[in-house]
Amino acid sequence: MKRALYERLQAATAAGTSSAVVTRLTDGAQDFFDGERWEGAIDLADAQRAAVRRMLVAGRSGILPGEQDLFIRSYARAPRLIVVGAAHISQFLAPMATLAGFEVIVIDPRRAFASAERFPGVTLVDEWPDEALARLKLDATTAVVTLTHDPKLDDPALIAALQSPVFYIGALGSTRTHAKRVARLTEAGLGDKVARIHSPVGLDLGGRAPCEIAVSILSEVIQVRYRGEAA
C-alpha cells in the first residue's frame, strides 16, 4: 500500500469514517474509497464502484462479485442508525436496532421527549438536527430516519442526509405529507436527490402499532443495507 493511500486510510479510521481499499490482484494497483470519494490508480467502471459501495455498507470483504482480480477490504465501523425525533416509535426502534447490532443515536432538541427515562442506554442528542448531523459526520454505513412529523426538525435532517453518502434515508408520513415534503426539498435545490427518501418509511408489513412500525422500519434498513436500493 502506497504511503499516501495508507495515510488516507488512517485518517478515515481516526475520524470514525468507514472506508474500503480495492486491490487489483494482477498488479497490486489500489483504490481508496471513503464512501463518497475515490482515490487511486484503478479506473473502475460505475457498476464496479457501486458494487464496492454495497460491500462497504454491508461491512463485507472479499473478491468483488462478478470479478476475478479485484479484492475489497472493508474497514467499516458498526452500522449506525440515527433517529430524529424521540417519538413513541423511536422508543421501540432504538432497543430493537441496538439488539440488531446498530449504534443508535436519537436526536431531539425537545428534552422532555429525549430523556434517559424514555430511552435507557441510548445515546441522546438535544441539539437541532442539522447541527447534530454536521457534528456526527454522516458516512456510508449510516442510516437516518426522521419521525417527528415536524418540518422544522425533519427537513434540516433530510437536507443533511441527502447531501451525504448515508445508505438509507427514511421519513415518517403519509403520501400527502411526503408530497409536501418533496416540494419543500425541491425548492431547497434537492429535487434530484429526493428519490432517495423511503416514505412512507418501512416495509409494508400491515402493522399500525408503534412497535409494529418500528419492526417495519428496522426491516427495511437491514434489507437496504444488504441488498441495496434495488431490493
Distances (CA, A) of 105 to 95, 203, 204: 11, 22, 24
What is the average per-residue pLDDT within 140-160? 96
Quick one: cell of 227?
441488498
Question: CA–CA separation, 209 vs 215, rounded Å?
Answer: 10
Domain boundaries, the chain: 3-75, 80-227
Question: CA–CA separation, 1 vs 45, rounded Å?
Answer: 22
- Reported as a pLDDT band with limits 50, 70 and 90, residue 230 is low
pLDDT digits (tens, 9 = 90+) for 194-206: 999 999 999 999 9
Distances (CA, A) of 25 to 4, 28, 71: 20, 5, 7
Task: Give me the percent of the chain exceeding a pLDDT of 90.
Answer: 87
- Reported as a pLDDT band with limits 50, 70 and 90, residue 229 is confident
Strands 142-146 and 168-171 turn out to be: parallel
Domain 80-227, what architecture?
A: 3-Layer(aba) Sandwich (3.40)
The pLDDT assigned to 3 comes to: 84
Question: CA–CA separation, 32 vs 24, rounded Å?
Answer: 12
Task: Decide if pLDDT at 98 tops 70.
Answer: yes
| DSSP character string of 103-129 | EEEEE-S-TTTS-TTTSTTSEEE-S-H
Task: Decide if pLDDT at 15 tops 90.
Answer: no
